A and B are shown apart, each in its own frame.
Chain A
Amino acid sequence: MTKDQLIAKLKTIVQPYIQDEDAFNNLSEETDFINDLKINSANLVDVILDVEDEFDIRIENDDMEKMISVRAAMDVVNEKLAAK
């Protein structure tokens, strides 16, 4: 999977939970889930669960705490996929 494909998949996953449309439309690797997209903590859990389903991976508490931006989510997903 290319970087762009991964970003596109993450973008689809976060879409139902975002509160800031402009930040979503300009989503990049640098986008922060909480500060930019204004995803709340309950919905951040939904994002994590949807990422698990989409990529068939298991995300643990430590990873969850790290996954606060597009880049961090990409790192966690790539790491988990590589370990499969």
Chain B
Amino acid sequence: MKKMLSVLLAAMLVLLAIPAMAEDQVITVVTWDATTTPYLAAQKEAFEAANPGVKIEYVDVASQDYAVKTTTMLEGGDKSDVYMIKEIDNLINWQAQGFAAPLDTADYDMSGFVGTEANYAVDGVQYAIPFRSDFWVLFYNKDLFDAAGVEYPTNDMTWDQYAELAKKMTNAEKQIYGTHYHTWLSAVANWAVCDGVNTLADKEYSDLLYFYKLYQDLEDSGACMSFADLKAAGLHYSGAFANGNIAMMPMGYWYVSTLIGYNKDGTCNFNWGITAVPHLEGVPAGSSFGNLTGAMINAKSENKDLAWKYVAWLGGPEGAKATASVGARPAWVSEDVAGAMASVEGFPADETSKGALLPSGVAMEWPVAEKVADIKTIVNEEHSMIMAREITPEEGIEEMNERVAELFE
């Protein structure tokens, strides 16, 4: 009887172990908009194909609450293996809080990141790897330009020329707007940092004045929708441009993959192209600003080696190809990758659009700096006051200068 029992027990153990042995290893990755972001699906597919037996499982967090929710998760001791990083200062905070595992990059080739990886390093130690680097470009609706008989915008255009073009393309009767500004500070006044000298944390904001004046002039002339209406309606830029009545729109490169998707599913069916964002006199054409997206390994992950395998792959040339395959711009820069980006089905075939893929310089939207979270709040508060015409741009900029100076007193 005893023998029987022990044989039975052994059999049960073997049976229990079989599925466990066959089970895939899982890497949990915390990210945002997992179901609607094409590059996440492409990355998952490519990584799983290259690494049989390993599965990627996304933990989806709402995009607009990403920083708050992920910080709460980390504070609560969440053990997800990888966290994607939306804003650089998220990583800086997490590193300070001890949530980011230091990465061993001694044998890891980072040459393709052209220095951007330094934004994810603290005291010389790398805490995350960038896998996407978005910079801002100018989108335009080719059909509207054709219909109006106006020449397309180019990769070398000053802001004044752009404003003139926007007014030329405006047709109030047909409800066609020459341009469209999303409500963000980055869409309206961030351009001041494109020269690579100014930053939004340099405590001096008079460089933003030109862009606020330019915007207000365009709004007054009816060349773009008013900030008040956009704010109240909560109109998202993606839908606004896809409506087909906006000639130009400065926006981040990520919108390329959205537009390709829209063309495929029929949300919009017009021809579009991209150019470099306009530049100020004296600033080289093709100068833009942008942001990094990266991935870090959770210090509490119980699967760090496997997580590193994934993060290293994600940033490297193979991951970059997967990212580029759906029209997103990887952080890893190489001719292969640029070729992959331009050959994506649905990407505009003209030379100008291809030329826009190679910016002459990309400054960081927000630098890593002391008290940057406070500065962000102040600059954004004053931005909304200027945009709502509660105060003049001059008054707003004076307020920014004073309030930011007070932070450091």
Partners in one complex: no
Measured CB to CB, the residues of B under 8 A from A are: none
Measured CB to CB, the residues of A under 8 A from B are: none
